[in-house]
Amino acid sequence: MRTFGSYWTALHRGVTGARGAWKERLPNVTPASVLWWTAALAGLFLLLLGLHPRSAPPPAIISTYPAPQLRGLWKRSDASRAAYAAISAERALEQFSKADRGTLEKLRIGRYVPENDQRLPAHERPSGYYFMSLTPDLVGDAMLRSGGFWDEPYLHAIFDVARRWTPHDHGRSKIVLDVGMNFGTFALYTAALGYQVHAFEMQPNVAAIVQLALRMNGRIGERVTIHHVAVSDELNGNVSFYDSTGNLGMAGALPVNDAYAIPGVAVPAMRMDAVLRLHEQVTGTRLPPIFFVKIDVEGHDLHALRSFGRWWLARIDHVVIEVKESEVYAQCGRLLVEAGFLCQYVTDSRRPHPHRFTSVPADSFPDYGALWCARPRAVTAMKRTMVESTGM
């Protein structure tokens, strides 16, 4: 039997003989150079073998999931997308496109013109935008007269104070929630200032009209996501809502003085934490802490507030709730104080101010106003900025 040494001797003799024949072309060959070339050819062979097309093994992270579990994940994802689509304003818009001619003839288009807004310095005004409403309507007509405002002395004034005195290095996020959107007076205003807005509206026609307005506003409209859903802490399902003659803004899940039930009109009802989790799941993004929440849902405010849950409530800097002389709104104040907020009431004679927050809000208040609550860290940041800027 021939050994490796004998094979090596024969190979060396063959190469040596070839050197004599190819003296001009073949360089000096030594045992070390033969080893080097042999290793190089073997490496090339292995490389070509690796490039040969074949079925690639599954990624390690996928292989850790049994096939039934993977199918379950896809099913949940499909269900989430379907649930998210069910509360989209696009469906409401599709229904509204089939409305009778009389309803469509009531549509009006208005525009916010920054140059006409004398409330704010020029550098604090949002860019111009279009809005839509129905007329005759209390809120819609007021928006058309004022250039897009409703509850300006309360809601818009509070928001302007909060953003003016909250420094950017405080970590102020660009997320706003508008619960009870109505014709989008607040959603469009904050979107025009650069905020990402999640707006919630249970009335199909109103949600559809604002969705139309978003399409007219380009990038500003892209910053608003409308959720056609009733926000409530009660079990998820459908609820019928009550309409109000002459003021669509008073429609809600609870009857009011001059309201009547619309038979056959039902909208989905969901907890706020469920909607936000659904949004994160479907979009694959995680919402940052929320800068500002506005709630105006005609007596259902306490239920809407409870639906945030402790985790989301802890991630909010500011909450503003429309208040009237009712025990419901007093309970909202107590709930927020128990959750760690500081609060103040804003009325015609009591303007919003960073130095007016207290941990003991009054249980009684005037006929109409707003409850403004903020996290202590947000209040401290506003006070510090105000002192540094004005000395007050």
Question: Domains in the chain, please, with CATH?
Answer: 73-390 (3.40.50.150)
- Which pLDDT score is estimated for 235? 64
Q: What is the pLDDT of residue 103?
A: 77
What pLDDT is stored for residue 319 in this prediction?
97
Q: In which band, very low, low, confident or very high, does the pLDDT at 3 lie, cut at 50, 70 and 90? A: low
pLDDT at 176: 96
Query: So what's the pLDDT on residue 74?
Result: 38
Q: What pLDDT score does 46 carry?
A: 56
Asked whether residue 360 carries a pLDDT value surpassing 90, the answer given is no
What mean pLDDT value characterizes the chain?
A: 77
The pLDDT value given to residue 277: 92
pLDDT at 342: 96
Residue pLDDT, tens place only, 83-133: 777 778 877 777 777 777 777 788 889 999 998 888 888 888 999 999 998
More confident residue, 70 or 272: 272
**β-pair partners for 269:** 230, 237
Of the pLDDT bands very low, low, confident and very high (cuts 50, 70, 90), residue 69 is very low
Q: List, in sequence order, every residue forming a beta bridge with 239; answer none if it has no partner.
A: 267
Residue 309 has pLDDT above 60, yes or no: yes
3-state secondary structure the chain: CCCHHHHHHHHHHHHHHHHHHCCCCCCCCCHHHHHHHHHHHHHHHHHHHHHCCCCCCCCHHHHCCCHHHHHHHHHHHHHHHHHHHHCEHHHHHHHHCCCCHHHHCCEEEEEECHHHCCCCCHHHCCCCEEEEEECCCHHHHHHHHHCCCCCHHHHHHHHHHHHHHCCHHHCCCCEEEEECCCCCHHHHHHHHCCCEEEEECCCHHHHHHHHHHHHHCHHHHHCEEEECCEECCCCCEEEEEEEECCCHHHCECCCCCCEEEEEEEEEEEECHHHHHHHHHHHHCCCCCCEEEEEECCCCCHHHHHHCCHHHHHCCEEEEEEEEECCHHHHHHHHHHHHCCCEEEEECCCCCCCHHHCECCCCCCCCCEEEEEEECHHHHHHHHHHHHHHHCC
Q: Would you place residue 173 in the very low, low, confident or very high pLDDT band (cuts 50, 70, 90)?
A: confident
Q: Which pLDDT belongs to residue 154?
A: 83
Q: For residue 276, is pLDDT > 90?
A: yes
Give the position of tokens 């020029």. 122
